[in-house]
Amino acid sequence: MQISQRNIKIYYLSQLFHSMVFTAPIWIVFYTLRGVSEAEISLIMTFAYIMQMVWELPSGALADLIGRRTILVISFIISSLSYISFFYAEGFIWFLVLNLIMSIGDSFRSGSEEALIYDSFKQDGKEEGISKVFANASAIYQGGLIFGAIAGGILYSFNPVLPSVTYGIVLLLGAISSLLYIEPKIDSERFTLKNYWLQIVNGSKEAFSSGKYSSLMSLFYIFVGGIAWSSTLFFNESLLVDLGYSDTVRGIIGGVLRLLNILLITYVLARGKYFSQRGTILMFPIIMLIAYLPGVFLNSTVAPLFIQLAMLATTSRFIILSPVVNKVFSSKYRATALSFLSLMIGFVYVTLTGVSAYIIPEFGIKTMYTLLGVFSLLTVLPLAYMLIKNMPKVESNIQ
């Protein structure tokens, strides 16, 4: 039985439910409304990601041993109940606790679904088609984000808690849809505490055990992911708030930028000319340096253009880099290895958001945006150079 075709449909549905983040354009102002300061928001994001990092490897190993579908369902349920509980949240401690619980749900999803889909294609002998599936899924996700951003601003105008509660209900639908996945067959061990520990250890080694080029690729993935993800989750929205856009306008801007992202994905990354691996690697430092370095000079007129580039870096990481990284991992350790990379991305994220708790109140969000560019200059650019220098002689093409 060809399980990949069945699982693709569930994957697209899961992406849609997860993407309708109605809180996206209003979460910072909502936190402020409920008594959380700007500095406390930075601390909440930092501690929440530390919690996610703690659970990344254990959840990935559990997914490899007891099944990715089970872990996905648990992830959706945890996240759903957390968002619904925002109805009662008030003050720093409430929001800190709920974000810590939400981060556990995020860690359970991280790597598990991607590994499930990749191994479904591998089992059916159709690995060459995975890039297109990731591109389509990303387009669906972007579409859901557009709807969520616009609808979230409208829901907030009626009642500040509606975006959070509505998103929690939608995530319950994600849990139900995930029950329909068919688990691919992988060479996993019987679950025992000893095998669980060995899975964590060996899965972690998998990320850097396939040679110099693959190790450099893992590092490249980590720094691109950490920098771009931090701006997507926190700094982009903070910049728009700082520039004075209203709640409704921020939702509209987010929707428009996501629409542009879909067009770029559909007609450039997924269906355009083939990208050489060399060109793909070079694309990331170019996009990220242009997006972040001019941060201190940005104003309300031009800022959305630079945020668009930052969003494109995040999207491209999932579509272009993920299939390349997946190829170097064995099915037995795939979810664990991907979770390890997510853990490393978390270290980058925590460093940036932790530093921002001191920089933003003193120097402003625009300075922090420029520092993301400086960090990209010191990490992503030299790693891109080393990747190209150590690239295998037979260069593959990536769609």
Whether residue 281 is predicted with pLDDT greater than 50 in this model: the reply is yes
Is residue 166 within 8 Å of 87, Cβ to Cβ? no
Q: Please tell me the distance from the alpha carbon of residue 177 to that of residue 358, in angstroms, as a whole number.
A: 42
Q: Of 76-80, 180-184, 194-198, 242-246, where does mean pLDDT reach its minimum?
A: 194-198
Among 307, 250, 241, 251, smallest CA distance to 33 is for 241
Rg for the chain, CA atoms, rounded = 20
Split at pLDDT 50, 70, 90, the class of 275 is low
Q: Look up the CATH number of domain 6-181+189-398.
A: 1.20.1250.20
pLDDT tens, residue by residue, 121-152: 878 777 666 767 877 887 788 788 788 888 88
Domain ranges of the chain: 6-181+189-398
Instruction: Give the chain's mean pLDDT.
Output: 81
pLDDT tens, residue by residue, 337-366: 777 787 788 788 888 888 887 888 889 899
pLDDT tens, residue by residue, 86-133: 988 889 999 999 999 998 888 888 767 777 887 888 787 776 667 678
Please tell me the predicted confidence (pLDDT) of residue 88: 87
Split at pLDDT 50, 70, 90, the class of 175 is very high
Report CA dihedral (377, 383, 389, 391) to the nearest 10 degrees.
Answer: -140
Whether residue 57 is predicted with pLDDT greater than 80 in this model: the reply is no
Split at pLDDT 50, 70, 90, the class of 368 is very high
Q: Please tell me the distance from the alpha carbon of residue 105 to that of residue 36, in angstroms, as a whole number.
A: 23
**Rounded mean pLDDT, 262-268:** 67
Please tell me the predicted confidence (pLDDT) of residue 239: 87
**Rounded mean pLDDT, 224-230:** 90
Is residue 206 within 8 Å of 385, Cβ to Cβ? no
Whether residue 218 is predicted with pLDDT greater than 80 in this model: the reply is yes
Please tell me the predicted confidence (pLDDT) of residue 77: 94
Split at pLDDT 50, 70, 90, the class of 173 is very high
Query: Largest Cα–Cα distance of the chain, in whole Å?
Result: 59
Q: pTM for this one? A: 0.65
**Rounded mean pLDDT, 51-73:** 77
Whether residue 200 is predicted with pLDDT greater than 70 in this model: the reply is no
pLDDT tens, residue by residue, 18-56: 989 998 778 888 999 999 987 788 788 878 878 877 777
Q: 21-36: b or e for each residue (b if 16 or more CB lie within 10 Å)?
A: bbbbbbbbbbbeebeb
Q: Count of alpha carbons within 13 Å of 184, Cβ hemisphere only?
A: 29
Among 341, 288, 319, 317, smallest CA distance to 140 is for 319
Number of Cβ within a 10 Å radius of residue 194? 9
Q: Report in angstroms the alpha-carbon separations of 193 from 196, 197, 199, 202.
A: 5, 6, 10, 14
**Rounded mean pLDDT, 301-324:** 81
* Percent of the chain with pLDDT strictly greater than 70: 82
pLDDT tens, residue by residue, 284-305: 999 999 999 999 998 988 888 9
* Percent of the chain with pLDDT strictly greater than 90: 26
Please tell me the predicted confidence (pLDDT) of residue 393: 60
Is residue 119 within 8 Å of 184, Cβ to Cβ? yes
